[in-house]
Amino acid sequence: MKINLWRSLPHEDAPFFRILHIIVAALILAQIINSNFTEREAIDGHSLETVITWLHIVSGLGLIVLGAVMLAWMFSQRGFSWYFAWLRADFRAIRQDLLTLAKGRLPEAQSGGIAATIQGLGVVSLLAVAIIGGLWFAVYNSQGASSTLAHSLLHWHKFLTTFIEIYFYAHGAMGILHIFLEGYHRYSAGK
C-alpha cells in the first residue's frame, strides 16, 4: 500500500521536486494551523504563544527559501512560458484542457495548460505571502507595531493568505482526486 501510494504521487520522474513539494505542503499546512495561535505581542514574551509565533515566523522565512528554490527548479526544467503562457495571451492549452475536461477525462500536463497555470500561480502566490510576512517581520522589528507600514504589510499578509488557503485546499483536493482516478484507471486496465 505504501509503495503504491508513493507511486501515485505526482512527479514520479523528479524525486527532488516530489520531496520539495511534500515539504512545502506540510509547512503550508502547519502555517495555516499555527497562524490561529500567533500573536505579534508574543514575539518578545516567554509563553506557548511565543513559541508558536516564532515557529510561524521561522517556517515562513523557510518557505521564502523553499518557494524560491521550487520556482527556480520549475523554470530550469520547463521554462517560464510553461507556467505563464497566459501572460502572452496564449490560452490555447487552457482551452484544450477545458475541452478534455468537458469530455469527462483528465487532461495531461502541458505547457500553458490548466495544471501548469495553477502550479505557477500557486508558487508565486506562496512567495508573495511569505515575502510580505517576512517584510512585516523586518519592519515590525525596526519600526515597531505602531508603524503604518507594519500594519499595512500585516493586513496584506493576512488578506493574501486567504487565497493561499483556498489554493492549498483546492490543489490538495484535485491532487487526491487525480491519485484516485489514476489508481482507478490502473486497476481497470489490470482487469
pLDDT in tens, 107-117: 888 999 998 99
Give the separation between CA 29 and CA 63, rounded to whole angstroms: 12
Instruction: Give Cβ neighbours of residue 31 (< 8 Å, ≥ 6 apart).
Output: 56, 59, 60, 63
pLDDT per residue as tens digits for the range 117-146: 999 999 999 999 999 999 999 999 898 878
pLDDT range class, residue 1, cuts 50, 70, 90: very low
Give me the residue spans of the domains in the chain: 2-190
Give the separation between CA 28 and CA 21, rounded to whole angstroms: 11
> How many CB atoms are closer than 10 A to CB 182?
15
- Comparing C-alpha atoms, which of 35, 14, 7 is closest to residue 119? 14
pLDDT per residue as tens digits for the range 48-101: 989 999 999 999 999 999 999 999 999 999 999 999 999 999 999 999 999 998
- Secondary structure, 3-state, 58-69: HHHHHHHHHHHH
Q: What is the pTM of this model?
A: 0.83
Three-class DSSP category at 149: helix
- Pick the residue with more confidence: 14 or 117? 117
How big is the CA angle at 26 (ends 22 and 27), to the nearest 5 degrees? 120
